[in-house]
A and B are shown apart, each in its own frame.
Chain A
Amino acid sequence: MTGWLIRRLFHVTLVMAIMSVVIYALIGLMPGDPIDLMIAADPKMTPADAVRLRGLYGLDLPLTTRYWNWLTALFSGDLGYSRLYGQPVGAVLLPALAATLKLLGLAFILSLLIALPIGIIAGLRPQGVLDYGVNFVAFAGVSVPQFWLALLLIILFAVQLQWLPAGGPPPAGAGLQITLIHYILPVLCITIASVGDHTRFIRASVIDVMRQDYIRTAIAKGAGPGRIILRHTLRNAMLPVVTVIALDFGFLFSGALITETMFAWPGMGKLIFDSIMGNDFNLALVALLLATFVTLAGNLLADIAYALLDPRIRYK
């Protein structure tokens, strides 16, 4: 397992290195640079100023040299400076990452809390009334586009009923109640989008396990339904679920981009969106790499969880 882990971490590093080249190149090849934006914003700037500024920022150097400079700076702990926010990239990124992880974490836990019991119950009695109901609702949840759902939620709960704030993070120093109220709509929006998939997947996995011969063995031993579900079905049914759900984390991360933009949530999604729109290269680069890393880490965690759950899987 140790050897496997070392190799996997090496793979993660390799993918990160390749992604950094790809993202750097993509941003570098984009038409326009920050100086163009400055010119647009400041009519008094002369072309000579622009040339001088490009030299100052190093934007006149070839792409490869710029990448090398960025990389060496990165390894000395310098992530660069965000022009848009007027702060070091790290200082902007960390609170945004924390905000996103809080939002996603809550939505993820809520989604599993709903999907696990419902998926298991539906799977134990397939083709029952409950199963059909669950399937219908799950499909509806999967089919609804997130931006549309976010709009509907805002119209209903913030505009019409005026129960909840339309968006924005909880104000600094707010009490628990106020903080929670700000979380409700964005968490709900992400949860509705993911809970259907989770439920259907857990259901399918439980149905599959309940058909296995070893469940028949457990019944023949005299085990009751509680024991059969808890000891024999769940662990086996969770094996494929863990993989899919961990892979889903990357998907959720990208989904957060929409949700955060809709609810003005100061997270990674909004940060990436704003930094690309504002030609804030340094920020966009690190933010995208961080998003890549979170997805890779989710996959790695899934593989480790899989090995812990399934004795047949031994990585070597």
Chain B
Amino acid sequence: MTDTGPRLLTVEGLTVRFPLGKGSVTAVDGISFHIDRGEALGLAGESGSGKTMAALAIPRIIPRPGRIDSGSVVLDGTDLTRLSERQLRPVRGRRIGMIFQEPMSSLNPTMTIGAQVAETLQLHTGLTGTEVADHARAMLERVRLPDPGSMMTRYPHQLSGGMQQRAMIAMALACDPDLLIADEPTTALDVTVQAEILDLIDEARRDLGMAVLFITHNIAVVGRIADRLAIMKEGRIVETGKTAELIASPRSDYARHLLNAVPRLGAGPHPRKQQAETSGQPVLAMRGISKSYPLAGGLFGGRGRKTVLHPTDLEIHAGETLAIVGASGCGKTTLARCLTRLIDADSGEVMLDDTVMGRNDRRLRHAVQMIFQDPFGSLNPRWSIRAILREPMQIAGQTSADQQVLAVDRALQQVGLDPAMAGRYPHQFSGGQRQRIAIARALILNPRVIVADEPVSALDVSVQAQILDLLADLQVELGLSILLISHDIAVVERLADRIAVMAEGRIVETGPTRDILGNPQTPTARNLIAAVPRLPERAA
């Protein structure tokens, strides 16, 4: 915690509304808070709580048709809600810097990193061309991007997610702002990268004496760097307090609910979880599977190949949950796709029971079902839920229309949704509900194995726990085997019997969950465990 100075920002009775038909939707409902100079305030809440709109309202960049209905936003004595667009421009970028959740889409794809960092300086300083370039390079160095000189001329798509977010931070800090607004800056990133970005923001704050407004759905993420926390729900702030005090003794039920949702290492397995048999005949196995892709370049085609998966063996037993953990790009998704034969491996074979599975083998397609990361992209927006759930049965072609409708109702009940909702379309559901629908779709053919590729990483922490519990319940009920893929080792603890740790296309460590967590043997496993955000000094 740092000493904080005099008042920098005072928000009073801020209300943001979105006109909708004849009425309007209130996204932010008369909230008030303040930030002192050099202070870090964490604004936490679930999706739809209005926390992002509250943040965007400060420099007045709420998307149309939303608007500030009432209230004031006073920065150093000036009410920003009363300024004209032209008067606001010197405030944006110069006094208030912003970074966003999706660094890839927040950077202009057709401008170099250098040009985008330089733009902030060109807009707000009278520096000459070379001074701007020098300063921009210094900023890239400051956010510890490797080889800042060549980074200047690179484009966003040539950088990893973590590097893109560093570039965003360089851009936001270029003019030494008084306030940095960070809207879920690490949610789209790996846990290991998340820890680095958090450190970077905290370090910049101390060096520059800058205030930070940090928006997140995961209290553990801000717990380490925020001086104070404000908890938002349904457009209102329900509780504020010093970080340590609020975490130790939350007054509101909602704050307690958010705190309980944070995935914690060492919480132990799900209470209904039964010890699975992990020896004997596996349900699904892969032997010596490897995969490589041709590298770009050369006059006529490739210059060799990049191996993303070295020859790998893997077995999943009946009723077992096997978790594959590793950082982005370690090959875990490729492994899952080879195992389900969604892509062809270079070598090796996939076996269901003891039969080798060919390409597009119907037996494999029925026995193994997938759940994907993005519950928004993996459901066809033009199809009703009933149509989405019936399709696998229509392809299988073994049931009558009446039986299919009954099966849809049963599957929806299994995942905790009302069968009466079957006529609705995906956009009418929340992210967590959509992931339940995706699970229902996976269950509808009574599979034996479910492959879940990052099933909760696009969801709020509070919803993550519910989805994981649902998977655990279904596993006990139906005797399913689950292959769970995740970059977050805290997520898998609740569910996994065994963990396989992956790095650079290889499984580097395998073992029972308790052994891996309690006594990790490889640096990869130790890094993954250390990167899990922890609530500081939590009582209980």
Contacts and interface: CB of A to CB of B under 8 A. Distances in A.
Contacts of B301: 316
Contacts of B119: 218, 221, 223, 231
Interface string B295-333: 011111100000000000000000000000000000000
Contacts of B90: 222
A213 B102 contact: yes
B105 A311 contact: no
Contact of A312 (B89, B93, B105, B109): B109
Contacts of A311: 109-110, 112, 155, 157
B171 interface: yes
Interface string A85-124: 0000000000000000000000000000000000000000
Contact of A316 (B63, B88, B155, B297): B297
Contact of A2 (B59, B89, B110, B299): B299
B61 A220 contact: yes
B108 A310 contact: no
Nearest to A227: B123
B100 A213 contact: yes
A314 B97 CA distance: 33
Contacts of A7: 300
A206 to B, nearest CB: 15
A221 B171 contact: yes
Contacts of B63: 216
A222 B94 contact: yes
B410 interface: no
A222 B92 contact: yes
Contacts of B107: 214, 217
Interface in A240-289: none
A240 to B, nearest CB: 13
A219 B61 contact: yes
Interface in B252-286: none
Nearest to B108: A214
A310 B61 contact: no
B9 to A, nearest CB: 16
B155 A312 contact: yes
B109 A220 contact: no
B41 interface: no
B221 interface: no
A232 interface: yes
Contact of B110 (A6, A216, A219, A309): A309
B109 A214 contact: yes
Contact of B300 (A3, A212, A224, A314): A3
A199 B102 CA distance: 31
A217 B301 CA distance: 37
Contacts of A232: 108, 111
A219 to B, nearest CB: 5
B108 A220 contact: no
B98 interface: yes
Q: Which of B86, B111, B297 has the most CB of A within 10 A?
A: B111
A61 B81 CA distance: 86
Interface in A9-31: none
B93 A213 contact: no
Contact-size category for A: 20 to 34
Given A236-B110, A316-B296, A316-B298, A221 B105 contact: no
A52 interface: no
A236 to B, nearest CB: 6
A221 B177 CA distance: 11
Contacts of A213: 100, 102, 105-106
Interface in A184-234: 212-214, 216-224, 227, 231-232
A66 interface: no
Nearest to A309: B110
B110 A217 contact: no
Interface string B116-143: 0001100110000000000000000000
B92 A217 contact: no
A235 interface: yes
B91 interface: yes
B300 A217 contact: no
Contact of A221 (B123, B297, B299): B123
Given A3-B300, A221-B92, A221-B93, A214 B106 contact: yes
A222 B123 contact: yes
B299 A3 contact: yes
Contacts of A220: 59, 61, 92-93, 96-98
B93 A236 contact: no
Given A3-B300, A221-B123, A310 B98 contact: no
A231 B109 CA distance: 12
Nearest to A215: B108
A231 B89 CA distance: 16
A179 B92 CA distance: 54
A212 B107 CA distance: 10
Contacts of A236: 108-110
B178 to A, nearest CB: 14
A212 B110 CA distance: 13
Nearest to B91: A222
Contact of B100 (A216, A223, A231, A309): A216
Interface in A141-175: none
A217 B113 CA distance: 13
B232 to A, nearest CB: 21
Nearest to A311: B155
Interface in B62-99: 63, 86, 88-94, 96-98
Contacts of A212: 105
B61 A216 contact: yes
Nearest to B120: A221
A217 B152 CA distance: 18
Given A2-B299, A312-B155, A222 B110 contact: no
Contacts of B93: 220-223
A213 B296 CA distance: 29
Contact of B92 (A6, A219, A310): A219
B100 A217 contact: yes
Contacts of A222: 88-94, 120, 123-124
Contacts of B88: 222
Contacts of A219: 61, 92
A214 B155 contact: no
16 contacts: A3-B299, A214-B106, A216-B61, A217-B100, A219-B92, A222-B89, A222-B90, A222-B94, A222-B120, A223-B93, A231-B119, A236-B110, A311-B109, A311-B157, A312-B155, A312-B157
Interface of B: 59, 61, 63, 86, 88-94, 96-98, 100, 102, 105-112, 119-120, 123-124, 155, 157, 168, 171, 296-301
Closest 5 CB pairs of A and B: A222-B93, A3-B299, A221-B93, A222-B92, A213-B105
Given A221-B119, A310-B109, 6 more contacts: A213-B105, A216-B106, A217-B108, A221-B123, A231-B119, A232-B108
